[in-house]
Structure formats: C-alpha cells, structure tokens
C-alpha cells in the first residue's frame, strides 16, 4: 500500500503542511518517489506519523518528540512537565469561562478589568483605563479594595470630574478639588494601606509611582490632572496626623 502526501495526511487526520513541517524538523523520514516524482509513503511512514501525532496530542513539544521517537519512549519527567503545563492551562481556561459568565450576566464590556465586571458600567473610560494599569501594579487584595471603593462611591463629584473641560477655570478647579478631597480622604481612612502601599505592590514603589503618574497624565485631561493633584494634597493633609 502506498499513499501520496495528500492521501497520507487525510488518512492520519492531519494536513499536508504539517507533514512537510515534520520532514523539515527531521521527525518524519522522506519517502521514495514514484517515477513521476511524487512522494510514495508506506505503512512505516503512517505509523511514524501517527506516533508523532499521539505525542503532540498529549502536549509533548516537538522539540522533545524527536528524542522520544529515537529512544522509543518519552521520559516520565517530560510527561510530568507537560501535565503541569496542561493543569495550568485548564485553570486559565476555567477562569476565562468564569469571567465570561460574569461579563454576560452583568452586561459588562468584554475588555473590562478582571474582577471589575459588575461595576464596569459605572466607570468612565478614563477610570477603566487606569484600573487596567493598576492590575499590573497591585496585588489581588489591593484590587479587591479598589473594587469596593468603586461599589461604595456614590458621590456625584466624580461625575463632575469626568465631565471637566480641559480649559476649566481656576475657581472651578479649586471648588471641585475641595469637594473631591473628602472622598479621597474617606478612602484613605477606610483603606490605610493606601498611605503605605509597599506590602501590596507587584513591583518597586518607585516604579509604581512613576507608572501611575505617567498613566494619570496620559489618561486624564490637564484640568482633571490638576484637580486630582489638588484634591490629593488636601486629602492627605486631612488624614495624616500633624507632627508633634
């Protein structure tokens, strides 16, 4: 029995390009050619191809398949490595499915920050962008606290900040900052780690502060940045005890 490349691919449940790839990697021996120049595969090629496909289906990297084929077996430690990788992938897929279920349930945008699906409709585009940055800077406990801040924040001053024009005048900025400061101060009181964040950071404190500063300046307009800076100063003055 002899097969062409296409026939062998169909019989083995793979593709012609895959067979050619295995040839290039040296995993599958090149067959003899017929008088017309076409390749002629035999049973030995089919068996070899099916063995390769079995190892690939198990998740064995192609870089390890060649050694396994020549030695006749895959070392147990390789299978353990593959099993650990598969377990991690299963965990990732299960989490993705759980996240999708929450997104569909709450009608949240698909690109909402992980864990913030239920409050995503309440977030401005700028706030959403900043929270995405936060997910790379803070640990899970900190992100849960940030979500609680969003859930309990009903002060209309935040909507005013979102709508603030880039050319807002001095009086408007100062008034908004003074009304925003108590909101920030309350968060600092409820979540003291905001005053000393080192225990909740995924990177260095310097890198975190630099990233947040650059993100805020990039995401918010100049007037909003000015108001946030003023309000933060007022809030910290309100919360931090005066020196003795």
Residue that terminates a domain, selected from 46, 74, 102 = 74
Q: What is the pLDDT of residues 166-197, one digit of tens each?
A: 999 999 999 999 999 999 999 999 999 999 99
For residues 133 and 243, give the distance between their C-alpha atoms in angstroms, rounded to a whole number: 34
70 and 164 part of one domain: no
- Cβ 5 vs Cβ 22: under 8 Å: no
Q: What is the pLDDT of residues 37-53, one digit of tens each?
A: 788 999 999 999 999 99
Query: Mean per-residue pLDDT for 208-223?
Result: 96
Beta bridge partners of 138: 201
> Would you say residue 186 lies in a domain?
yes
State the CATH number of the domain containing residue 13: 1.10.1660.10
> Would you say residue 85 lies in a domain?
no
Number of structural domains (the chain) is 2
129 and 60 part of one domain: no
128 and 67 part of one domain: no
42 and 127 part of one domain: no
Q: pTM (2 decimals)?
A: 0.69
38 and 136 part of one domain: no
52 and 130 part of one domain: no
> Would you say residue 115 lies in a domain?
no
Q: Would you say residue 33 has pLDDT above 70?
A: yes
> Would you say residue 104 lies in a domain?
no
143 and 234 part of one domain: yes
pLDDT for position 6: 94
Average pLDDT, the chain: 92
- Cβ 22 vs Cβ 12: under 8 Å: no
64 and 151 part of one domain: no
Closest CA to 185 of 243, 236, 241, 242: 236
Per 3-state DSSP, the chain is made up of helix, strand and coil in percentages (nearest 5) of 70, 5, 25
Give counts: helices (H), strands (E), the chain: 11, 2
> Would you say residue 109 lies in a domain?
no
- Cβ 31 vs Cβ 40: under 8 Å: yes
138 and 49 part of one domain: no
Q: What are phi and psi of 14, to 5 degrees?
A: -135, -160
> Would you say residue 102 lies in a domain?
no
> Would you say residue 231 lies in a domain?
yes
134 and 198 part of one domain: yes
pLDDT for position 242: 53
pLDDT: is 70 or 237 the higher one? 237
Q: What is the pLDDT of residues 92-120, one digit of tens each?
A: 999 999 989 989 988 889 999 988 998 99
pLDDT for position 227: 97
Percentage of the chain beyond pLDDT 90 is: 76
> Would you say residue 212 lies in a domain?
yes
Host domain of residue 43 = 5-74
Q: What is the pLDDT of residues 130-176, one digit of tens each?
A: 999 999 999 999 999 999 999 998 899 999 999 999 999 999 999 99
Percentage of the chain beyond pLDDT 70 is: 98
Q: Which residue has the tokens 């502060």?
A: 209
130 and 43 part of one domain: no
140 and 61 part of one domain: no
pLDDT for position 244: 52
Beta bridge partners of 150: none
């Amino acid at each position: 029995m002899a097969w062409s490349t296409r026939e062998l691919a169909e019989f083995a449940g793979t593709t012609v390009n895959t067979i050619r790839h295995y040839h290039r990697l040296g995993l599958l021996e090149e067959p003899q050619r017929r008088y017309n120049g076409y390749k002629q595969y035999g049973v030995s090629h089919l068996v070899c191809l099916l063995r390769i496909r079995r190892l690939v289906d198990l998740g064995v990297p192609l870089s390890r398949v060649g050694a396994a084929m020549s030695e006749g077996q895959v070392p147990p430690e390789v299978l353990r490595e593959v099993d650990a990788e598969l377990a991690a992938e299963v965990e990732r897929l299960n989490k993705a499915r759980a996240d999708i279920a929450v997104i569909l349930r709450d009608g949240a945008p698909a690109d909402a920050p992980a864990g913030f699906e239920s409050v995503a409709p309440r977030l401005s585009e700028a706030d959403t962008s900043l929270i995405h940055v936060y997910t790379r800077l803070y640990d899970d406990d900190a992100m849960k606290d940030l979500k609680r801040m969003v859930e309990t924040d009903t002060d209309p001053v935040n909507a005013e900040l979102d709508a603030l024009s880039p050319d807002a005048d001095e009086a408007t900025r100062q008034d908004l900052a003074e009304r925003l400061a108590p909101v920030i101060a309350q968060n600092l009181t409820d979540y003291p780690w905001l005053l000393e964040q080192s225990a909740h950071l995924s990177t260095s404190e310097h890198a975190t502060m630099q990233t947040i500063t650059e993100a805020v300046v990039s995401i918010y307009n100049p007037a909003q940045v000015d108001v946030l800076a003023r309000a933060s100063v007022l809030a910290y003055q309100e919360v931090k005890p005066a020196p003795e």
